[in-house]
Structure 1
Amino acid sequence: MWADDASKIDMLAYRPYADLITEIAVSERMNPLTIGLFGNWGSGKSTLLNLIEEQTTSHSDKKIAVIKVNAWMFEGYEDAKTALMEAILQGMKENQSFLETSKEKIMSLRDRVNWMAVGKTILKHGIPLAMAGFTGFPPIMLSNSSNLDSPEDVQKQIDQATKLKDEYMKAQPDGNVIENIRGFRNDFSSLIEESSVDNLIVLIDDLDRCNPDRIMDTLEAIKLFLSVPRTTFIIAMDENIISYSIKRKYPQLSDEGINVSSDYIEKIVQLPIKIAELAESDVKNYMLLLIAEIYLSEDILNQLLEKLKDKGFFIKGEIISGAEILEIVQREIEGNGPKYKSGMTEGDFEQQIHIFNGIGSIVASSLKGNPRQTKRFLNTFYIRKRLAEIQGIELNLAILAKLMVLEYFDSELFKELFQWQFEHDGKPTQLKLLEESVLGELEEGEELNIEKFSKNTNWLGEKMKRWLGTQPRLTDVDLSPYFYLAKDSVSDRRLFSVNLNQAERKYINQICDIEVNVAIRRKRIEQMLEMDEVTRNEIFKGILERYHQDKKQLETLIECYRLLPQYKSKIFDELKKLDGERIGFDEILLFQQLDDGSFLELKQYYIKQKKSKREIWDLGEM
C-alpha cells in the first residue's frame, strides 16, 4: 500500500526541477523572491517540495536555512497572518543555522507578532468605537452594541479597552499600525542580515487546502511582512483555487474587464513554475515504478531509477516496459543486501509487473495525468486483492484490474455490467456480444444492435472499444466474485434500500428485463400472487424502483396493474406522474391495456390537468 502523501523517492523524474529551483533560490541576485509551484490536486507538488528541501539543505557552497510550513495547520487560528509569522519565527529559533545571538531577536519579533493580533482580540471582545480615540491605538469598530445596554456595561468596556491599550503601548512604543508593519519588516530583515545565514528559504505547502480567507491572509503576510533580502518563499498551490480566492475577495472588479486574479498573483509570485499533467506514458511508467517500490528494497529501487535515468527513459518520454524493469532488476543490478522487501517474492513481483504492463495503457488513459489518482487506484486494487485472499476467493488479478478500469472511467457502465452479470449468473451475454463485435468475431451478416440491451451509447465509444479489446477477455468468465469485492461501487440505494435478498433481486431483474418474452414476464408477475404478502410487497417496491430509474419499464408497470389487483391504486397514482406534454402515441397504446374506466379517467386527467394533446389521445383510440 502507498501513503496518500508526498513521496521521498523521485519516481516522477522531478529532480531536474528541484535542482533548477534550488539554484535560483540560493542566488543572491534573485532574492527576495517568491516562487509559485502551480499544479492541480495530486500532481506531485509536495513531492517536489521534498526534493527541493533535500537539495537546499545539502547545498555546500552557502549556509542555507530551510523552514517548511504547512499552511493548512493555520486553519484553526483566528489570524492566519500572525500564525504564519509565528510559525516561521519558531522554525528559525529551532534551526541550527541561526546563531545563539539571533535567539533574543527572534523572541523580540515573536512578541511583536503577538501584539499585532491585539486589534483582532479587541474586536472579538466588543470594545466600542470610542476607544479608537486613544493616542496611538489601532482604529477599531464597534462590534457588539448589545454589550452597551447600561452605563455599567459602557464603563466595563472602557476599563477593558484601557487595560489593553496600556499593555499594547508598553509592547508597541511605535503605536501606529503602518509603523509596526514597517518595524517588523526592518527587524526581520536585520535579524537575517546579522545572522550567519546566506539565505532563508521558506517552503509553504497545502495552501490550496485552506479556506479562501486564509489563503489571502497568507499571501498578504508574505508580501507585507516577510519578503525581505536573503529570503525566498516557495509556495505550492493549485492556481485555480488561488484565483477563486482572489476573485471572491475582489468581486467588484470582475465586470470591468480586469483579470484581477492574474494581476494579484503576478504581484505576489515573481517566478511561476507550472507542473504539467503527466502524459499517459508517464502515468504508466509511474504505476510500474510504484509496484517496484512496494516490492523492492530501497537500495535496489534507487539503482533501478538510476539505470532508467541513464538509459534516457525520462528525458525521451518513452514508455518503460515491464520486461525492461525485470531485466534491470534481475540481470543488471547487483547488491549485497536482499533485492526484495520482507515477505515479497520475485514471482509475485513478476506477476504484478506483467499484469500492469499489459493493462497499463488503458489504466493510464483513465487517471487524468494525476500521480495521486494512480496511487489510489493501486491501493484499491491491493485492498480487493487482499480481501479476496482473506476470504479464500480465487481471482484472476488481470481481470480484477481490467474491471477496475471500467469502474474508474465510467461508473454508469460499470453498474450496468453489474446488472447484466447479476441477471445471467455472473456471465453476461451482452458483454460477449460487445467483445465479439470489437474483435470482429460476429458471424457474417450479423450486426451489433446496442439498443436491444442498453440505452447507453458509451458502450460503442472509442475508449470502450479499447477496453473491450484489452486482454484478458471476459466472455464466459464468472464476474460475480469481482463485483462482490466492488459492492460499495455498485450498490444502488434506490433498489438496494428495499429489503430484498439476492434471489428476490434477481427475480425483479427477470421481470424487468425488457428483452424477455412478454408471456414469460406475465407468468413471473402472476407467480407473485402465490407469494406471502410481505415478500410480494417488497418485490413490488423493487419493481417500482426500477420504473423510477427507467421509464421504459412502463410496460412492466401496466402488466402489474392488470395482473396484481391489490396494487392498482398505487400503480394508477404512478401513471398520473408523467409529463403530460411528453406523452406520445406509444404511451397511449400501453394505457389502452388498462380497463376502460381507468383509461378514460387517465385521458381526462392528462388533457385537463397536464396539458396533454387531445389529438394524440383520440388517435390512440382509433
Structure 2
Amino acid sequence: MKRKKIQDEERYFIRDEVLKSIEEDEFGHKNFALVLKNIIDKQKAPLNIGIFGKWGVGKSSIVSLYKRLIKDKLVKNAGDTKNPQKFAFIDFPVWKYTQKGSLRNKFMFKIAEGLFVDIDKLKERIYGTRTVITSLLLKPEYLFDELRRIRKNFPWILFLTGLGVATILTVILSKLLPLKSISDVSSIIWIYCLFVIPSIIKFIVQVFRSAKVRISYSKFDSDEQFENEFIGMVENRKCKKTIFVDDLDRCPIDKVVETVETIKTFLDIPSCVFIIACDNEVIAQAINESNEIYKKSDENNGVQYLEKFFQYTITVPPFIRRDMREYAENILKKDKSKLLELPDIDDILFVLIHGNVVNPRKAIVLINSFVSDYLVVKEREQDPNSKLNLGMITRHLPALAKTTVLKHDYPEFYSDLEKNKDLIKWMTVCINGEEELLEPYQKEKCKPYILRKVISRENGKRLNNTQKRWDESYYIEPKERGLFYLYNFLSATREYDVDITDMRPFLFLGQDSASYGMADEYLESINSTLRAGQVPPMKSLLETEKREQKTDISNIMLDWIENDLAGPELRKSLQVLSECLPIMSEDVIPHAASILTDKTLRPGIKERIKSLDIKGMFFALTKVKRQASKVVNIYIDSLSHQDLIFSKKILDNLFEHESLVKSSKRIEKVRSFLEKREESGEEKKE
C-alpha cells in the first residue's frame, strides 16, 4: 500500500532530462543538432564550437541529439556502436569539478577515462609519485624479520576461524561418509586448505605492502607538459574525439576563466573537437571582471575574446511563450501525470507557465514546485491532527499555483507578502486603478512594485528617469524588467484569489490557526516580545487594538504558549500572560485562564510561581473549574515569615477570593500562619 502511494506521488512529478531521441524533440532541437553534425563532419579537426543560449533553452539536449545521430550513423554503417575506434565522445560537466583540486588535472583524468587510458599511470606522471616494491623483498634478512614478527602481524583470528570451520566440517563429513580410501583423506586436506589459505594469503599481501615505497620525481607544472601528455593520449586513438564541456556558466567567475584557460592549453590538437555549451553573455562578463584592464575599458573585451576562441558558434534563441504551455500539457500527457486529473488544470498551467517562462526547464521546475506544495497540502488537509481544514487550499489550486510562482520567481515580493498578508489584495486594487481606496501606509507598501524609475517616450521624445506606472511605460530598463513581469503576472492572475479572505494558509501551507487572522508585521514582534517576557509592550498592544485585532493577538499568544514554547521561554511567556490576562479579549479569557493554570502546575514552573503576577493568577483561577484548588494550595504552601511581602500578597488575594480555598487543611494552615504572625508582633512592625 505504501509503495503504491509513493508510485502515485511520483506520477505527479515531471522528469527534467536532456533529450535522448529525435522523437522526444518538441522544439526543433534536432535542427541545431544536424547543423552541429554538419560542421563536425565536413570541417577538418581541430574544431572549437560554441553553443550559446540562456539557461534552459536546451543546449545540452542539442549535444545529446548530436550524439544520438552519430550513434545511429554507426549502427547503420557498421552495426556496432561500442567500438571505441570509431567514435569517442567525452562529457566534462565542469561545474562538478570546480570544488577542490586542480581543474586541469581533473580534465586530463576525464579525457583519459573516455579514451580508455590507464588512469593510475597517468596520475603517477602528473603527480610525480610512484609506488614500487623495493628489492627489500629479495633480501633474506628482511624475510627473517617478517617471520619473527609473525606472532604479532599474522591474521590469527581469520586463521583460527578457518581452522575451526574446517574441523567441524570434517567431523560432520566423517560421520556421514566414513573414510575408505586415500582420496577421502586428500579431500579432508583440501577442506583444511580451503579455509586456512586465505589467512596465509592475507599475511603475504601484508608483507608485500610493507615492502612498498613511494618514489617522487618531477611532476607536471607547465602547459607544455600537459599538452604533450594530451597529444600522446589522443594520438593513440585513431578516431575523431569530441569533448563536450557543459555547465561552464554555472561556475564561479574565477573557475570560468580557469576553465577557459585550461581548454586553451589543449586547442589545435589534431582529431579533437571541443564543444562548449554556455551562456556567452555570462562568460563574457566573467572574462571582463577577471581582468583589471578589461574592467577599465569601455569595450566589451569578453565578447572579443570569445570571438577569437571559437571557430564556429551556434546560438539557440529563447522559445515562443505560447509554445511553453503547449509543451507543459504535452509532457504531462506523455508522463501520464496525475496532475491532468485535477479539475482546474488549465487554470493551474495558465498561472504556472506565465509570461516570463521562456524555456522548458523553467516550466518543469515550476510544475514540480507546485506538485511539492500540492502534495504537502493534500496530506495536511487529510491529517486529523492538522489545523488545515479539508478543502481550504485544494478548492483553490490556481491560487496555490500563484503563490508557488511568487515564491520561486519573485522572492522579494513573496517575502513582503509573508509580512503583509493583504499586500496581494492591495496590489490588485492598484492594478484596477482604485488606489484612492487604500490607506496611505498600504499605498506605501505597494509603491516599490508599481512606480519605478523607467524610460518612457512622450511626443516622440525619450524621457530619462521618469516615474510612471508600469502600464504607462513604453520602455523598461533591463534591471527593472523583473518587477515589470511581476506587475503583469499579478494583473493576469488577480481573479484566482479575489474570493480568498486570507492568503496565509497558501503562503505557509498550513500553520497555527491563530496566525491566519493576523495581518501586517505583528507576528514577528509578538513572538519576540512573548519569548523575552516583555510585559509593557504586549499590554500596550492589547490595550490599543480594536476588539477583533485583540482577539487575533490573544489567540496567537495562546497558541504559541500551549504548543510551541518550553523551558525558560515558557516561563517568561507565562509571566506576560499572567499580567495581560485581565485585559485580553473576553471570548478568549476562559481558554487563556485554563492554559495558564495547567502550565503553572508543570515541574519547573510551580517552584517559580512567585515570578508570575499573583493578581492575574487569581483572576485566572476564578475562570477555571478544575486545577484551581491545586494552584491555591501551592500559594498557601508558599506562605513564609521570611518573605512577608509575597505572603501579604497571597493573603490579600485569598481573602478576596475565599471561595477558592476548598481544603480544611489549607484553611487551618492559613489560620496558623496568621496566629504566629500576631504572636511575633510582625503585624505591628509592618
* TM-score of the two chains, using structure 1 as the length reference: 0.52
C-alpha distance in structure 2 between counterparts of 1:349 and 1:524, whole Å: 38
CA contact (8 A) 1:219 1:268 kept: no
Letter in 1 for 2:111: I
User: Closer, same or farther in 2 for the Cα pair 1:432/1:232, shift >3 Å?
Assistant: closer
Q: Does 2:284 correspond to 1:243?
A: yes
Please state whether the residue corresponding to 1:34 is helix, strand or coil. Answer: strand
Deviation at residue 534 of structure 1 after TM alignment: 1.5
Query: What is the percent sequence identity of the aligned residues?
Result: 21
Residues 347-394 of structure 1 deviation map (CA, whole Å, 9 limit, x = unaligned): x4473642335435xx42244x24433222212211121112212231
How much has 1:88 moved relative to structure 2?
1.1
1:513/1:72 CA distance change after superposition, 3 Å: farther
8 Å contact from structure 1 (residues 431, 475) kept in 2: no
Note if contact 1:21-1:52 (Cα within 8 Å) is conserved in structure 2. Answer: yes
Determine the structure 1 residue equivalent to 2:576. Answer: 534
CA distance in 1 between partners of 2:123 and 2:36 (Å): 30
| Residue from 41, 65, 71 that aligns with 1:57 | 71
Q: 1:182 to 1:495 in 2, by over 3 A?
A: same
Q: Specify the code of the residue in structure 2 equivalent to 1:68.
A: D
Equivalent in the alignment of 1:190: 235
Counterpart CA distance in 2 for 1:240 and 1:72 is 17
What is the aligned partner in structure 1 of residue 35 from structure 2?
A: 20
Q: Is the 8 A contact 1:185 1:225 kept in 2?
A: yes
Is the aligned partner of 1:356 residue 2:370? no
State the distance in 2 between where 1:431 and 1:163 align.
Answer: 69
How much has 1:487 moved relative to structure 2? 7.0
Secondary structure at the aligned position of 1:235 is classed as: strand
Secondary structure of the residue that 2:528 maps to in structure 1? coil
State which structure, 1 or 2, has the greater radius of gyration over its C-alpha atoms.
2
For the 8 Å contact 2:248–2:278, the answer to whether it is kept is yes
SS at match of 2:499: coil
Q: How far 1:452 moved relative to its partner?
A: 6.3
Give secondary structure in 2 for the equivalent of 1:68. strand
User: What letter is aligned with 2:376?
Assistant: L
Give the SS at the match of 2:91. Answer: strand
Q: Within 5 Å, which residues of 2 pair with 1:39-438?
A: 39-60=53-74, 63-76=86-99, 78-93=101-116, 106-107=117-118, 111=121, 114-118=124-128, 164-165=216-217, 180=225, 183-184=228-229, 186-188=231-233, 190-192=235-237, 195=238, 197=239, 199-225=240-266, 227-247=268-288, 249-256=290-297, 259-295=300-336, 344=338, 348-349=340-341, 351=343, 353-359=345-351, 363-367=353-357, 369-391=358-380, 392=382, 393-394=390-391, 395-396=394-395, 397-408=397-408, 410-411=410-411, 413-414=413-414
Residue identity matched to 1:209: R
Aligned to 2:528: 498
Moved more, 398-407 or 30-39: 398-407
Q: Per-residue displacement from partner, 1:322-363 (whole Å, max 9, x unpaired)?
A: xxxxxxxxxxxxxxxxxxxxxx49xx4473642335435xx4
Task: State the 1:66 CA deviation.
Answer: 1.7
User: Any conservation in 2 of the 1:200–1:230 contact (CA below 8 Å)?
Assistant: yes
Matched residue SS, 1:35: strand
Q: Relative to structure 1, is the Cα distance of residues 261 and 359 closer, same or farther in structure 2, using a 3 angstrom cutoff?
A: closer
Could you tell me whether the CA contact under 8 Å between 1:366 and 1:405 is conserved in 2? no
2:49 to 35, 50, 62: 35
Rounded Cα–Cα distance in structure 2 between residues aligned with 1:112 and 1:236 = 28
Q: Distance in 1 between matches of 2:577 and 2:244?
A: 63
User: Is the Cα–Cα contact under 8 Å of residues 57 and 66 in structure 1 kept in the other structure?
Assistant: no
**Whole-Å Cα distance in 2 between the matches of residues 461 and 178 of structure 1?**
54
Answer whether contact 1:201 1:233 (CA < 8 A) is retained: yes
Q: 1:410 to 1:374 in 2, by over 3 A?
A: same
Structure 1 pair 266/111, CA: closer, same or farther in 2 (3 Å)?
farther
Please tell me the residue identity of whatever aligns with 1:53. K
Summarize deviations over 1:233-256 as a string: whole Å, max 9, x none.
111223344335434543244435
Task: Using the TM superposition, give the Cα deviation of residue 35 of structure 1 relative to its aligned residue in structure 2, in angstroms.
Answer: 1.4
Structure 1 stretches lacking a partner, 5+ long: 94-105, 120-161, 297-343, 422-427, 540-622
* Partner Cα distance (1:434, 1:235) in 2: 44
Residues in 2 aligned to 1:434 and 1:418: alpha-carbon distance in whole angstroms: 14
User: How far apart are residue 185 of structure 1 and its match?
Assistant: 5.5
Residues 57/251 of structure 1: CA separation in 2 closer, same or farther (3 Å cut)? farther
Assess, with a 3 A threshold, how the Cα gap between structure 1 residues 513 and 202 changes in structure 2: closer, same or farther: farther
Counterpart check, 1:451 vs 2:465: no
Structure 1 match to 2:211: none
Give the structure-2-normalised TM-score.
0.48
| Cα distance in 1 for residues equivalent to 2:553 and 2:123 | 77
Equivalent residues of 1:77, 1:83 under 8 A apart = no
RMSD of the alignment, in Å?
5.0
**Equivalent position to 1:10, from 25, 40, 43:** 25
Task: Tell me what 2:509 maps to.
Answer: 485
SS in 2 for 1:454: helix
SS in 1 for 2:25: coil
Q: How many matched pairs?
A: 401
Task: Check conservation: 2:354, 2:489, Cα contact below 8 A.
Answer: no
Aligned to 2:498: 474
> What code does the residue aligned with 1:281 have?
R
Helix, strand or coil for the counterpart of 1:58?
helix
Q: Residue 97 of structure 1 corresponds to which residue in structure 2?
A: none
Q: Secondary structure at the match of 2:242?
A: strand
Q: Distance in 2 between matches of 1:257 and 1:185?
A: 38
8 Å CA contact retained: 2:426, 2:438: no
Following superposition, the deviation at residue 11 of structure 1 comes to 4.4
Aligned residue identity for 1:230: S
**Distance in 2 separating the partners of 1:32 and 1:116:** 25
Change (3 A) 1:410 1:115: closer
| Structure 2 residue matching 1:86: 3-state secondary structure | helix
Kept in 1, the 8 Å contact 2:92–2:244? The answer is yes
Deviation at 1:226, TM superposition (A): 5.2
Instruction: State the match for 2:194 in structure 1.
Output: none
Q: Once the 2 structures are TM-superposed, how far is the Cα of residue 260 of structure 1 from its aligned partner? A: 3.8
Q: Distance in 2 between matches of 1:379 and 1:496?
A: 35
Report the Cα distance in structure 2 between the residues aligned to 1:20 and 1:513, rounded to whole angstroms.
74
Deviation at 1:436, TM superposition (A): 7.3
SS at match of 2:443: coil
Cα distance change, pair 522–232 in 1 and its aligned pair in 2 (3 A): closer
**Alignment partner of 2:270: what SS?**
coil
Which whole-Å CA distance do the structure 1 matches of 2:542 and 2:301 have between them? Answer: 56
Residues 2 and 379, structure 1, Cα contact 8 Å, conserved in 2: yes
| Alignment partners' CA distance in 1, 2:549 and 2:505 | 28
For the 8 Å contact 1:31–1:232, the answer to whether it is kept is: yes
**Counterpart AA for 1:534:** V
Q: Determine if contact 1:499/1:538 at 8 Å carries over to the other structure.
A: no
Letter in 1 for 2:60: S
